[in-house]
Chains A and B, each alone.
Chain A
Amino acid sequence: MTRIPPAALFGLFFTGLYFFMAIFAPWIAPYSMTEVVGGVWEPWSSEHLIGTDNIGRDLLSRMIYGGRTTIFIATMATILSFVTGSILGFTAAVIGGWVDQVLSRFVDLIMSIPTLIFALVVLSVMPVTLPILIVVMGLLDATRVYRLARAVAVDINVMDFVEAAKLRGEGRLWIIFREILPNALSPLVAEMGLRFIFAVLFVSTLSFLGLGVQPPNADWGGIVKENKDGIVYGIPAALVPAVAIATLAISVNLVADWILNRTTSLKGGRG
């Protein structure tokens, strides 16, 4: 095994830390998420490690639960976008012809509308619940994944081993899942890291604008929104979730970069 570079180690550590906190939130958080336990915007103390928020709830607890929401939504949306995007992309590449045309032009159409505006329009007419949020984000992101998956699969589809499988009489499912997917995995996994970050940023943006996670629940974007007025008075509560979003994005990015480097530097590119 080659040594893990320090940047990737840093990324792995923080990514791991955030996911750990998200999964074990109820055991880690000192207080409940919604309980008012102190005054408004109390400073950092031994009781409230990073102070309290705009109505006196423990900020650390809210951050931990909020991280759980952010990471959960981002993860589910990313998984959804990868499953739909790559299956449709592979299908388009393998079948080709008018199926490819219809799918690709439809994706172009969706992509021509700015994602944020599209999401805001959809969410303003739909009830904003977690599943709907995840589906909207996942499907919008799936267009990007579709394009990558299709491009990668078109390359693999013309290789002799795929032709050999077609000559053998293999069905499309076998070709997609057994011949193409294993060889397309490394670029897709690397892309997955980046897409996850975009999902985190996207859900935070939506919540900040009030169309994401609804109160009293909150994600990091929501916490920024709640505490943003404090900044005027020199209260740093809004910066904490902002820093959390930034560090999560950077660490996942570092990990994704490392995976991409590892998988492409191997002999033969796809090895």
Chain B
Amino acid sequence: MSDQLLKVRDLKIGARVYPPGEKPHDIEIVHGVSFDLEKGKVLGLIGESGAGKSTIGLATMAYGRGGVEITGGEVWVNGREILHTSLRDLRKLRGTEVTYVSQSAAASFNPAKKIMEQVIEASVHAGKFSKKDAEARAVELFAKLGLPDPESIGNRYPHQVSGGQLQRCMTALALCPEPDLVVFDEPTTALDVTTQIDVLMAIKDAIRDTGVAALYITHDLAVVAQVSDEIMVLRMGDMVEHGTTDQIINAPVEDYTRDLVSVRSRQHEGKPPTDNPVMTIEHITARYKGTNFDVLHDVSMELHAGQTLAVVGESGSGKSTTARVMTGLLPAREGQIVFEGRTLSADLAGRSRDDLREIQMIYQMADVAMNPRQTVGTIIGRPLEFYFGMRGAEKRKRIEELLNDIEMGVEFKDRYPAELSGGQKQRVCIARALAAKPKIIICDEVTSALDPLVAEDILRLLHNLQKRENVAYLFITHDLATVRAIADSIAVMYQGRVVRYGPKADVLTPPFDDYTDLLLSSVPEMRLGWLEEVVEHRKMESAGN
């Protein structure tokens, strides 16, 4: 078959692990995966972290990252077996026939070199194009990828363009040597939804126009549904299901795939606000120490007992800063924080121990939110001891209750954070917050670092605990699916201002302001053709204006 570009047969990949207290040993992380890819087609690899998707992606370049070794199977590119070829031949293959786009363009570009130099480097080095031809091709690609000033953007340094633009530059870099296959490894995961949509469209157009084949690796099924022809679902190094995009999305066969497809569909009926908010922040203006511009402008919102206020917006919109002002970590310049009818000190140092107890916080990165040298029991036990003076048996009993509440066993009490999975770590953080019996819990992107199915469990847990403890959540997130699943009210933030605020039903019902419209329509939906629809819709709108 002449169309056959990539053939992977029974690919097995091993890695050496170094568990603490044990001898280093080898484990298999990919257990015999096979697939084919034709020219010009896009195959989406999807799975949770640890599923082996990136490892497989890199294996198509015969590369194993950091201690990872390809132990068996075959990889054929353009009719050549590449796993048993010389390093010399591999060098020709990598960067020209097969290229790679990584998740973090910012970390992949050399900050000391101009973008153009790096984009054409591989093509020129391999002798595929002359410097002049390569530059012309790069400019063409910049234009195709919708970058501003395609003629001159190459003369900038990586820090002089935005994250979304840099990701597109990286795509240009990968496409420049006219490769046959591009491996996209989570190319939009680090971007805001509003930026993601542009990059996705640019990638999709570029793939179509250049006729290149692609492996598209992501954990977000809704994203991969927009760009790929086929999808392969992976789990813990095994293939779960492989089919056309249409079949995977609309008629999944395996249970696991069905879970993945339905994970974002959780809905929550929003409750109307009560008369007595437990906390209000009024006309808050704040700036960071040593700067001379405000990062929050006149921000007001209310928290109600037993309800969730979701704060949404892209990175840099002031969501987390609002949380810092509430907790007193960043004293507001103007405005006040009213808790149960009395004004709280703006500064952490001015609040009583009981004030502090009432507002607890859960962080995005559970890894660094817990002291790695303390056991789970110490972590959960400290607030009990600190706020309620609990000791001995009383404290132990309460710790066990709390572990029970977060659906973890008593045996976890003596474990260290490093011995827990990502979801378990976040649960322990939830228990630590609950231990203080607060009226308010601030959840700062608590599910963003978790795999979708684990994140859903955490949301469900938070929801149940809220019902029981009647605690108010301030839920900071950039993910609107999460908002739909948990919020009662929503505050949309943009550039340090609240642009839209109210009960969920109102905020999510048109007519929208421009930013909310942009934000809402940018959230990938789990259906085919969504991307084209949105882009078409936007074109019509801008034509109408």
Which A residues contact B (CB, under 8 angstroms)? Answer: 1-2, 159-161, 163-170, 178-179, 182-183, 265-268, 270-271
Contact = CB atoms under 8 A, between A and B. Distances in A.
B420 interface: no
Nearest to A266: B20
B341 interface: no
A187 to B, nearest CB: 14
Nearest to A270: B372
Top 3 closest pairs, chain A to chain B, by CB? A182-B373, A160-B369, A169-B356
Contacts of A163: 329
Contacts of B418: 267-268, 271
Interface string B363-395: 101011111111000000011001000000000
B383 to A, nearest CB: 6
A4 to B, nearest CB: 14
A266 B17 CA distance: 11
Most buried by A among B361, B367, B371: B371
Contact of B383 (A168, A178, A265): A168
Most buried by B among A169, A266, A271: A169
Contacts of A183: 371-373
A161 B348 contact: no
Contacts of B18: 265, 267
B348 A159 contact: no
Nearest to B367: A268
Nearest to A163: B329
B356 A271 contact: no
Given A159-B368, A169-B356, A182-B373, A164 B20 contact: no
Given A167-B356, A169-B351, A267-B418, 20 more contacts: A2-B23, A161-B370, A164-B361, A164-B369, A164-B432, A166-B348, A167-B329, A167-B348, A167-B359, A168-B382, A169-B353, A169-B356, A169-B357, A179-B371, A182-B371, A183-B372, A183-B373, A267-B18, A270-B372, A271-B418
Contact of B368 (A1, A2, A160): A160
B20 A271 contact: yes
A157 to B, nearest CB: 12
A33 to B, nearest CB: 45
Contacts of A1: 21
13 contacts: A1-B21, A2-B23, A160-B369, A161-B371, A164-B363, A166-B329, A166-B348, A167-B329, A167-B361, A168-B436, A182-B374, A266-B20, A267-B20
Given A169-B386, A182-B373, A267-B418, A161 B368 contact: yes
A89 B360 CA distance: 29
A259 to B, nearest CB: 16
B339 to A, nearest CB: 15
Contacts of A168: 356, 382-383, 386, 436
B186 to A, nearest CB: 22
A167 B369 CA distance: 12
Contacts of A267: 18, 20, 418
Does more than half of chain A's interface fall in helix, strand or loop, or is it mixed?
A: helix
Contacts of B432: 164
Contacts of A170: 386
A61 B432 CA distance: 60
A164 B360 CA distance: 9
B463 to A, nearest CB: 23
Contacts of A266: 20
B32 to A, nearest CB: 28
A133 to B, nearest CB: 36
Interface in B4-26: 18, 20-21, 23
A163 B364 CA distance: 13
B69 to A, nearest CB: 19
Contacts of B357: 169
A182 B20 CA distance: 18
Interface in B158-189: none
A247 B367 CA distance: 42
A265 B19 CA distance: 11
B18 to A, nearest CB: 7
B100 to A, nearest CB: 26
A265 B67 CA distance: 14
Contacts of B21: 1
A5 to B, nearest CB: 14
B442 to A, nearest CB: 10
B273 to A, nearest CB: 26
Nearest to A183: B373
A86 B363 CA distance: 29
A1 B371 CA distance: 24
Nearest to B379: A161
Contacts of A265: 18
A239 to B, nearest CB: 44
B327 interface: yes
A123 B456 CA distance: 69
Nearest to B327: A167
A178 B432 CA distance: 17
A161 B369 contact: yes
Interface string B309-329: 000000000000000000101
Contacts of B368: 159-161
B365 A160 contact: yes
Nearest to A159: B368
A168 B369 CA distance: 13
Contacts of B436: 168
Contacts of B329: 163, 166-167
A29 to B, nearest CB: 42
A183 B356 CA distance: 25
A2 B18 CA distance: 10
A165 B379 CA distance: 10
A130 B267 CA distance: 75
Interface string B118-131: 00000000000000
A159 B368 CA distance: 6
A184 to B, nearest CB: 10
A160 B369 CA distance: 4
Interface string B328-352: 0100000000000000000010010
